[in-house]
């Protein structure tokens, strides 16, 4: 892959700032201000404005709150105080809601010519935005060494037509969570590894008056359940919905049977996720699937409420297999050359090992590079909190998500059908057949 002079300039810029450390490390330059709510230092910004002739001010859009928002704002402030200060750059981190919210706002911002310079982007949407010309190819700003250091299991959704458009940032897989305190009370000694054990453990938890496995109508989770039974939601070229084939139908039938006979609980409606979170906190349900990106919040909630949480691979039907998820960092189009250089510095900074380690420890999202998995800080973390290591180990069974631009609409047809199946007496096969035919039409229009 040919790399241009821009890359050399980036490397020099980054090397020039390696002696500056912040956030609790030994330092050769004092940090004079704390970040404001949106992740930038007002004093640093004013100081730069007072002493430099030309300031490059850029926006960085991100999704989600809590630990994720803290992570984004803290790292942005760190950039501003180090590399940003050295290069007359000020980045402002701005929260934009869920991934869907952010994507919608990003499209509107392009129409108004008010788009940010850098954004997170849910991995399945990379191709759609690249095809629309809204994001830049990153081949010229990411070195071969850095590109090859990203974990291979996270790269499926980074390329469009063999060109790099996004780099792994806060990446995840769904993992299995369980309340170890309730397991002890019910006499369950280990996490289930397959569907039979999941059903048995859930039934046993009924003896202490709590629900066993609580699940949501989440398309990402259902990709995991189906893939763990040897199937998928779409075919290899993403033109045909196959969630009506045997492996997917068996997964749905297993969950429906679990509601009827094995103490499973299905959470539906607009507030389903919040309701389940409340019941998890109140120890009314003992097992669930969620993103590894929720790990730190989950452990904090458990600690505050007097119970212990364990993590494990998602129990499978035939063999372990999970979709990856989370977001990549992208650079938007329409930037000037100087803005591109500034955005490139920020993207490289956010994906350097020090920030990768910090983000993993802060949130529970995966460490995204090969070298970071053997970093002494991460090894120490896994020794003290082994729940963090589960998602990394499970990643050997991970792969990308469909990137057909119509997949978002097609999968909504699937989840609508699932809600019918879990809340009424409709025939499972007939309902999925009808939905798959409708989804297939959408997928073929999206190619």
pLDDT at 12: 43
Answer yes or no: do 287 and 315 share one domain. yes
Q: Is the residue at 395 inside a domain?
A: no
Q: Is the residue at 352 inside a domain?
A: yes
Answer yes or no: do 312 and 342 share one domain. no
Answer yes or no: do 69 and 98 share one domain. yes
Answer yes or no: do 209 and 306 share one domain. yes
**Last residue within a domain, chosen from 365, 390, 415:** 390
Q: Is the residue at 397 inside a domain?
A: no
Q: Is the residue at 396 inside a domain?
A: no
Answer yes or no: do 164 and 178 share one domain. no
pLDDT at 35: 42
pLDDT at 38: 55
Question: Which residue carries 């609980």 as its tokens?
Answer: 265
Radius of gyration of the chain (CA): 23
Answer yes or no: do 383 and 434 share one domain. no
Domain hosting residue 199, numbered range: 174-323+404-446
Cα 236 from Cα 404, distance rounded (Å) = 11
Secondary structure element (H or E) that encloses residue 181, with its range:
helix 180-186
Cα 72 from Cα 14, distance rounded (Å) = 20
pLDDT at 263: 98
Rounded to an integer, what is the distance from CA 22 to the centroid of its chain? 26
* pLDDT tens-digit profile, the chain (447 residues): 444 444 444 544 444 443 333 333 322 222 323 344 455 555 555 555 555 468 999 999 999 999 999 999 999 999 999 999 999 999 999 999 999 999 999 999 999 999 999 999 999 999 999 999 999 999 999 999 999 999 999 999 999 999 999 999 999 999 999 999 999 999 999 999 999 999 999 999 999 999 999 999 999 999 999 999 999 999 999 999 999 999 999 999 999 999 999 999 999 999 999 999 999 999 999 999 999 999 999 999 999 999 999 999 999 999 999 999 999 999 999 999 999 999 999 999 999 999 999 999 999 999 999 999 999 999 999 999 999 999 999 999 999 999 999 999 999 999 999 999 999 999 999 999 999 999 999 999 987
Cα 173 from Cα 117, distance rounded (Å) = 27
* Pairing between β-strand 159-160 and β-strand 398-399 as defined by DSSP bridges: unpaired
**Is 120 within 8 Å of 365 (Cβ atoms)?**
no
Handedness of CA 78, 84, 90, 92 (dihedral sign): negative
What is the value of pTM for the model shown?
0.86
Q: Is the residue at 191 inside a domain?
A: yes
Q: Is the residue at 20 inside a domain?
A: yes
Answer yes or no: do 336 and 418 share one domain. no
pLDDT at 447: 78
The CATH number for 261's domain is 3.40.190.10
Contacts of 31 (CB under 8 A, 6+ apart): 22, 81
Answer yes or no: do 163 and 224 share one domain. no
Question: Which residue carries 């669930």 as its tokens?
Answer: 288
**Last residue within a domain, chosen from 348, 365, 390:** 390
DSSP letters for 245-301 = SHHHHHHHHHHHHHHHHS--EEE-STTHHHHHHHHHHTTSEEEEEEEGGGHHHHHHH
Angle between helix axes 407-423 and 246-261 (nearest 10 degrees) is 40
Answer yes or no: do 42 and 153 share one domain. yes
Cα 257 from Cα 172, distance rounded (Å) = 29
Cα 54 from Cα 423, distance rounded (Å) = 60
Closest to 96 (Cα-Cα) out of 62, 134, 58: 62
**Is 263 within 8 Å of 205 (Cβ atoms)?**
yes
Cα 8 from Cα 193, distance rounded (Å) = 49
Handedness of CA 160, 166, 168, 171 (dihedral sign): negative
Residue 320 CB neighbour total at 10 angstroms = 17
Answer yes or no: do 319 and 330 share one domain. no
Diameter of the chain measured on Cα atoms: 71
Answer yes or no: do 293 and 439 share one domain. yes
Q: Is the residue at 398 inside a domain?
A: no
Residue ranges of the alpha helices (H) in 25-134? 42-51, 66-79, 85-86, 99-111, 126-131
Contacts of 188 (CB under 8 A, 6+ apart): 201, 204, 205
pLDDT at 5: 40
pLDDT at 15: 44
Answer yes or no: do 374 and 302 share one domain. no
Q: Is the residue at 271 inside a domain?
A: yes
Question: What domain count does the chain have?
Answer: 2
């Amino acid at each position: 892959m040919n790399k241009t002079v821009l890359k050399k300039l980036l490397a020099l810029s980054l090397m020039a700032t390696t002696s500056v450390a912040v956030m609790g490390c030994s330092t050769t330059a004092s940090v004079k201000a704390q970040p404001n709510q949106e992740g930038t230092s007002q004093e640093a910004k004013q100081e730069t404005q007072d002493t430099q002739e030309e300031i490059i001010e850029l926006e960085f859009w991100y999704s989600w709150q809590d630990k994720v928002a803290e992570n984004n704002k803290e790292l942005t402030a760190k950039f501003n105080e180090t590399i940003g200060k050295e290069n007359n750059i000020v980045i402002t981190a701005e929260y934009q809601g869920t991934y869907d919210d952010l994507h919608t706002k990003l499209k509107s911002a392009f129409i108004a010519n008010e788009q940010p310079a850098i954004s997170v982007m849910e991995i399945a949407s990379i191709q759609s935005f690249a095809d629309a010309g809204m994001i830049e190819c990153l081949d010229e700003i990411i070195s071969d060494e850095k590109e090859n250091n990203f974990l291979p299991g996270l790269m499926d959704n980074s390329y469009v037509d063999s060109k790099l458009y996004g780099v792994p940032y806060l990446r995840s897989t769904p993992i299995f969570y369980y309340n170890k305190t309730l397991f002890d009370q019910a006499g369950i000694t280990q996490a289930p590894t397959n569907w039979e054990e999941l059903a048995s453990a859930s039934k046993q938890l009924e003896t202490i008056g709590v629900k066993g496995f609580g699940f949501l109508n989440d398309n990402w989770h259902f990709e995991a359940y189906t893939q763990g039974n040897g199937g998928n939601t779409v075919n290899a070229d993403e033109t045909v919905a196959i969630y009506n084939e045997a492996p997917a139908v068996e997964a749905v039938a297993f969950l429906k049977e679990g509601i009827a006979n094995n103490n499973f609980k299905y959470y539906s409606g607009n507030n389903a996720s919040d309701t389940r979170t409340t019941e998890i906190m109140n120890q009314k349900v003992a097992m669930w699937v969620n993103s590894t990106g929720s790990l730190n919040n989950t452990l904090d909630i458990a600690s505050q409420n007097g119970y212990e949480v364990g993590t494990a691979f998602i129990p499978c039907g035939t063999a372990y297999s999970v979709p990856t998820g989370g977001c990549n960092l992208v650079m938007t189009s329409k930037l000037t050359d100087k803005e591109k250089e500034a955005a490139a510095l920020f993207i490289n900074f956010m994906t350097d090992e020090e920030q990768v380690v910090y983000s993993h420890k802060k949130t529970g999202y995966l460490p995204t590079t090969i070298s970071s998995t053997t970093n002494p800080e991460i090894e120490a973390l896994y020794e003290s909190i082994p729940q963090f290591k589960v998602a990394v180990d499970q990643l050997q069974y991970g792969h990308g998500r469909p990137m057909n631009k119509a997949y978002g609409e097609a999968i909504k047809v699937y989840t609508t059908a699932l809600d019918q199946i879990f809340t009424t007496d409709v025939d499972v096969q007939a309902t999925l057949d009808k939905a798959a035919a409708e989804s297939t039409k959408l997928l073929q229009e999206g190619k």
